[in-house]
A and B are shown apart, each in its own frame.
Chain A
């Protein structure tokens, strides 16, 4: 079943009919998700939150290509995210580009900067690369802050977009974002399976060995940065429009770290893990604010926090729970959510043995 006889069989998108059927069912589910949400409100979700999750998933996939597959690190992805967001808004506001042209350009602008950032990555490793990328992320927002062209510190209002003459609402954005996300996910899966992806993985496992085998380190390392930045840039462009207003202060260091945490919690070197990580982290980040409304536990936590914590009270508990869930996942399952999936799949497959 799992035997591959040639290269082309290995790079097939759907390895079996079972996977194909499930993928189609999943796409149908995605198509009906907005209806499900507005009718039943599962988990207190709103379409806006799903949109945010999807955008974060695109970023996480892009970052995973860099961190999980190529073994580099970036703590500056909020910078690429900001670049994408500002480029898209400025193209549409100043030169009235349509969205479907502005988004790829936003992606390419980001990836150009990704390429530049990739150059020092050739010589830097581990903590040193982390600091270099961290500096990059902070520099980008500082530059944007000081240029009136980008709206300065005040920021920019994203214009309202129209679809066939009607202003776009969350549900319209949902389909736009979801289609882009699905395409980019397929792109990432394909990329990893083919020559480029294999070169990335070879670099991750041992860059000296990879070079000895004929992998051009300069080319592939900068490419990994550029691809990763492209994904993040496109996501940034979408982010600007679901938010409606962007300013440089929104793209801070914590955001970069959250992106990295999504990848680690989801599972390094796994596309599915990236999506799961983005979904879990975004959901918790937003929904834990309402922790006091959980029946029974909520009021008890409020009393506890008022008694033993600072006056900000319940918000502290939310942050602690958020951190605790992250720590527990990484502690008990180093492969992240993807690890749970693999483990459970194997368990049921071999059941009852």
Chain B
């Protein structure tokens, strides 16, 4: 009996320890003389956990900046919270960020449903939010003063990719394979938008459900259409399945896909080498890029977080936080939410390790408008085909 009561007391003690430290009164929320408080949510556990690397990548960037002495005498204090990809938790985290920790800004954050529960709340409280990591219209329309988006729009990306295949590479018969959800549909929409303009039609439009595991009929449909090039807008699993099925029936078109599947090291592994030859669009520099900034980050990565894989998701966490930091730098010592917004609006073709970022038009909060194309080599490395190409007008 005593034992049982002890467990109960133990539970109570855990709860008491969870009392959060009260936020101290200050002029600007989350900005003190020596610190800037920044938060991010990301799934560290649960089915979406692989994407959690993004939030940990952001941690690396803040550590690097702190090691280099911070910005205008302030260092970043970074709060990473695991929302397990559950919207109810995300909203609780957003409230914790604002009401209890008192962060200056929120950076990144993966997922549409999760982010949408927090969007209006953050905006009402004038919390700057930089770069939710999905390419949908919800972030940029209607315009929110404190919300800046970077991830290229799927629709525009697909539009431009189709143009590249048709005009530069001369493919006439193009087919589309996509996953039947918002992500896939926006891709299909972009492809059709381009073809409609050129007055040609898709030779085949094949969709798969998320839960489909047998794609042999899908592959057969694509083969029978006689397509020379197939654009796919899917998640990694489906990409691997359709490539395997097509190879089995001897269908070898030119494949092309979005930057969502740009982790070619991973894709080569799960497709057992079939990924070679893929034309891929990229929104970030390549992992082995010789860009001085990339070299620098890779060195810090070895020093500060050697246990992490230098994968696309991980350094995307850096890429999607860099422009935010640049905004803080430009806002100067007198950092407020409004000053930060003004500073962000001076960014013009600003270049970190992602595409050039521009926010000079206050009526346009879509910062990333460029991708480049690359072809996957048989060894899994990328042969860069183009320079940065503007995809959004």
A residues with CB within 8 A of B: 41-44, 46, 48-49, 52, 145-146, 152-155, 157, 160, 239, 242-247, 249-250, 254, 280, 283-291, 293-295, 297, 306, 311-313, 315-316, 318-319, 321, 325, 328-329, 332-333, 340, 343-344, 347
Contacts and interface: CB of A to CB of B under 8 A. Distances in A.
B96 A46 contact: yes
B56 A311 contact: yes
A87 B44 CA distance: 32
Chain B residues touching A, range: 35 or more
B169 interface: no
Contact of A153 (B11, B15, B19, B181): B181
Contacts of A319: 45
A52 B88 contact: yes
B116 A157 contact: yes
Nearest to A154: B182
Contacts of B56: 311-312
Interface stretch (B2-10, B27-35, B378-386): B2-10
Given A247-B112, A316-B45, A295 B17 contact: yes
A4 B49 CA distance: 57
Interface stretch (B79-87, B158-166, B187-195): B79-87
Main secondary structure of the interface of A (DSSP, over half): helix
Interface in B34-54: 44-46, 49, 52-53
B92 A332 contact: no
Given A41-B20, A243-B117, A290-B96, 5 more contacts: A46-B100, A157-B116, A284-B15, A295-B17, A332-B4
A296 to B, nearest CB: 8
B182 A153 contact: yes
Nearest to A318: B82
B20 A311 contact: no
A332 B3 contact: yes
Contacts of A332: 3-4, 7
Contact of A315 (B44, B96, B308): B44
B307 interface: yes
Q: Which of A48, A242, A280, A344 has the most CB of B within 10 A?
A: A48
Given A46-B100, A153-B181, A316-B45, A247 B113 contact: yes
A244 B117 contact: yes
Contacts of A285: 89
Interface in B100-114: 100, 112-113
A98 B11 CA distance: 42
B91 A48 contact: yes
- Ranked nearest first, the 3 interchain pairs of A and B with the lowest CB-CB distance are A315-B44, A44-B20, A245-B116
B112 A250 contact: no
A11 B52 CA distance: 53
B20 A244 contact: no
Nearest to A328: B7
23 contacts: A42-B19, A44-B19, A46-B95, A49-B92, A52-B88, A145-B181, A152-B182, A160-B120, A245-B116, A245-B119, A246-B113, A247-B112, A247-B116, A249-B113, A250-B86, A285-B89, A290-B20, A311-B308, A316-B44, A318-B45, A332-B4, A340-B8, A344-B5
Given A46-B95, A319-B45, A41 B100 contact: yes
A312 B56 CA distance: 8
B243 to A, nearest CB: 24
A134 to B, nearest CB: 15
Contact of A43 (B19, B45, B182): B19
Nearest to B44: A315
A155 B93 CA distance: 21
B16 interface: yes
Contacts of A286: 89, 92
A155 B100 CA distance: 29
Contacts of A154: 112, 182
Contacts of B11: 280, 325, 328-329
Contacts of A254: 46
B21 interface: yes
B91 to A, nearest CB: 6
A290 B7 contact: no
A293 B112 CA distance: 28
Interface string B141-182: 000000000000000000000000000000000000000111
Interface string B61-97: 0000000000000000000011100111101110110
Nearest to B15: A43
B369 to A, nearest CB: 23
B116 A244 contact: yes
Nearest to A344: B5
A43 B8 contact: no
A285 B92 CA distance: 10
Contacts of B82: 289, 312, 315, 318
Contacts of B119: 245
Contacts of B99: 46
